[in-house]
Structure 1
Amino acid sequence: MLRTIRAKFLGVAAFFVVWLFVATGFSVIQSLGINGDLEAVSRYVTPVKDALSDVRVRQLEQISLLDRYMRVVENDGPHAPLLNGIEIEIAAKQAQIEQAFRKTFTFAALGRAQASSHFENGVLLDLDVRMREFADVSAQFSLGMERLLSRVGDGDLMDAQRQENIVRGLHRNIVLDLRNEILRLEKYAADTVESVSRSEDFLIQAEFIMMLGAVIIGVSLAYYMAHAVVVAVRKTTNALNDIQSGKLDTSLDFKGKGDFARLADAFNRMSRELRVRFRMRERFGKYVDPKVINNLINQETALENSEKRVMTVSVVNLTGFDWLAEHTPPEKLVDFLNDYLTAMTEPISNHSGIIDNFVGDRVIGFWGPPFCGENAHARHACQAALEQVARFNALKTKYADLIGDHGLDIRIGIATGEVVVGSIGTDKSRAYTVVGDCVNYANRLEKANRVYGTRILASHETANMAAGEIEMRDLDHVVLLGTEHVVYLYEVLAPGGQLSDERRDWRSKYETAMTHYREGAFDKAKPLYEAVLEFDHSDFAAQLMMNRMERLQRREQDREWNGTWIVRDPYDRRDVES
């Protein structure tokens, strides 16, 4: 609601200015489209057509010279003085033809580069390719002419006659193909002119409709502003009565920056504070760390609204749990699960994270504003993951008699990206959670640990945000089958500065080997991978790369190597092992 009558009229004037800009922009865009169509025809299509016409004329002139040449041979013999002059004219015509073909290809290639929308379908699709094909056929014709003239010069008139028949056949095909191509380009130019005419008619009609719309909307706005004050007073009175009767969900909604809008903001802050504090404690008091509740209360709209934010998501999965559940008495299994979930959730809370939910033995957490800094959530997530691994190692020692050597371990996937965060659910059951592709990405990274024999994998975005604060290893770049999207995988190793010199050398050798591997220099990469395995014989990733190189050398991938492996099933080792 605007504050004064003057402001209201200024608002109407501003509306018409914006409308004018929109209408002008629309007209400009349409005009640019029309100009683009005409420019494509005038600058590229027409020159190609003219050059092809020139080629066709020169071809006809050349075959006419051939007729004259053969008549002189028949009448005066293969060594007649006139033949040299005719041969020079034939060569000159061939040079003109080649020059014209170069012009056609140049304009066709420029058209594909500068007006690609016109050259990607229909008549103009692969126009530059067809020009090359015409040039190739013309080259064959020129070569045939040279052979014909050579046979005449050698006096082999019978072979010259056979070569003449071949040349004339090529000539007929060239002239016919050129004629068809010229007709297609002429039709395209005519159709484009007709389309431009229709577009101009549409533009005139659209401008008239926009002008009529401006009149209708302007009158409607004038009526709305006259009526709005009465409505605003009535809404305020009714809202105050509702609050007085205990309806805390009541709110006012006045648009703009006027007095009524400020009144509505003050009223809504009061009702939201009462409502949010009540609902926050009701919904989260039993499940969420008190610091989270305080943050949500300070962010007064966090409970009511959902929004898009860049955050970091972590997924922890316990491998081998099915076997443990099947072979462990219920009371011992419950004790282990309680200790396990405590060991996985406390690092999330300790590092400013939010525990999203539990799915069986999987623990999902997320980090981001307002619970930690804008640029700190990737670091917090990696630190929590490292602590989770440390705590799980201690847990394995505590329950060594229960776990035994059955390969019970955790895998962690960490991804950073845009998510929708907020209170999501039904009227009866809601949760403060995150959803989006980033969550799915974290799940895929968790599963990908199985392929590389790792425990913590992070996305490229996470690695960039945590650079310098977390020690990571550039593990691999892969492409999932059926897509062109490259997935960058990083292994989380240790907090920043806490990697030993030996481990730094081990990482450096692996990453240098990966550089040679991606460049296809397998002979340089192999000794480095062997050195990595010599330092850590359990480094499955290094052995995996060596297996891949063997497969690539056997050419088992159905494409040229470009440094990125195509994974048909990122969760099945059979696809990546020899």
Structure 2
Amino acid sequence: MFRRSIRQKIAGIAAGLIVLAVIASLLSMVLASRVGQLLDELTNRYIPAYGHLARVNIRSLERSLALRRMVMAKMQALPDEVAYSAARKAYEDIDPVLTGEAAAARKLIDAIIQDPDTPSNKAELGRIDDRIDNAISDLRRRLVEENATLLRQMNESDTAGVKLTMARTDQLRDEFHAKIESIRTDMLAQVAAAAKNVMTAQNRAIVISAIVTAIAGVLGFVFAMLVGSGITRPVMRLLEGTREVEAGRLDGSITITTQDEIGQLSAAFNRMIETLRHNRRVRETFGRYINPRIAEGLLEQPAIAATEGQRRLMTVMFCDMKGFTSLSEGVTPRGLVKIMNLYLATMSEPINAQRGIIDKYIGDAIMAYWGAPFVEEAEQADLAALAALDMIGCVAGLRKELPELLGVRTIPTDCDVRIGIATGEALVGSIGSRLMMSYTVLGDTVNLASRLEGANKFYGCRCLISEATAAACAHAIELREIDRLVAVGQTQSQAVFEIMARKGEVSSQQTLLRQHYSEGLAAYRERRWDDATRAFAAALDAVPGDGPSMALIARVDAYTKTPPAADWDGAWQMDRK
């Protein structure tokens, strides 16, 4: 059985359960039919028969009342013949009705006695039938005698005789009522017995149905467990294997114990795990050379779409290691590799944490970008600025680790970073040849980010961002406008800003620095050289060693000696990268 297909196993379980259900249903129907038969007899025979007997008493009382009205109408001083005739007619009409009620009761009792399918007390019912017949016959015989005497006495106006006859008639009626009441009491006992039989049969049906249903349920459960275990055990092994795969553990495989579809699925699952192990090795190796998110995106797109360039709003970052040239001259090649690996790993982590895409490493430089489809357009500038702040925050730790890494007390030069960020339209897509492709960004925005990274050298700061980037991240980042400049390769000037801190986290010294620097920059652009010098000096007092303040003081000093042209707009023309 356990080598059959799952379809056959399930069909077998269903067929077995259906058979058990049909058996239980048929038995319940038989028992319910039996209860219905008993209930029908109780409803349509016992209770109506008892009702007929109750109405016999009522009719007897009505007849007695009609008889008294006859006597009263006849025995008056002036007999009321009309009332007498009406009372006599009522009296005579009641007699067949009373007899009919008794006959109806006997007919129902006889039907019960004749029914062999019901467990009634036929002997007792037979006695009740005889007692009804005797009571009615005796009453009829004696009433005929008394009525004849009463009619004669009324015609003779024999008042005393009428009273005596009426007294005997009342006694006769009371005797009849006592007999009927006794019969009704016995009949009520039979009704109660019949009702008890119905309840007993109903309870028996319920108990038997419950037992049969329970047996069917147990048998069905055992049968299902026996057959189902052959399905569930391999399914559970398959599920456990799936969870292992979901958790990234691809070292195991599933033991195949069945030859059905689940066994075939388990074999296919084992082959899939082997393929996944191979793919993971390829992906792990491949992932070191290209960002995994780019790889996934390229795999999800058709090959043609992957090679088509698209113009998108992007935020591009360039990061360079300050003093790398002098540092590389003072260490061995092996030491330089260690430095580079540590530096690139340290600076790449904040970029990755802020969902940036590292495009490439160019010597000691890192190129990264943010934009669709990897992040939303509205948040790309914020993420790039936050990454820059985190990278600057990693410098202190990097300075401590480098000497330990090289096994020296100090390193030849002070390690630091220079970061440039620009936001604007760029060409995004796969660039290269049929031999090698690179998914990258190109355009003026990329060039501007590179130039801004280099401009840090002239201003003595760590991070400069473009005007578009500043406008996009100003709600989340504290900024300081540094200058207006024309980058190499560009003709239009634009404001450049320095990232200071997250929003609301500037220190009091930084606040004073930004205020005095802004005042100095405004005076500088208006050619008020003395005011500019004083403001930049105040900025240096707030934060000694501030690179932009010292750069602008030197520039003001140069302009004091050699003023700029008359059409000078306050922008600085970069003449080299």
Instruction: State TM-score, norm by structure 2.
Output: 0.47
Q: Highest CA radius of gyration, 1 or 2?
A: 2
Instruction: State TM-score, norm by structure 1.
Output: 0.47
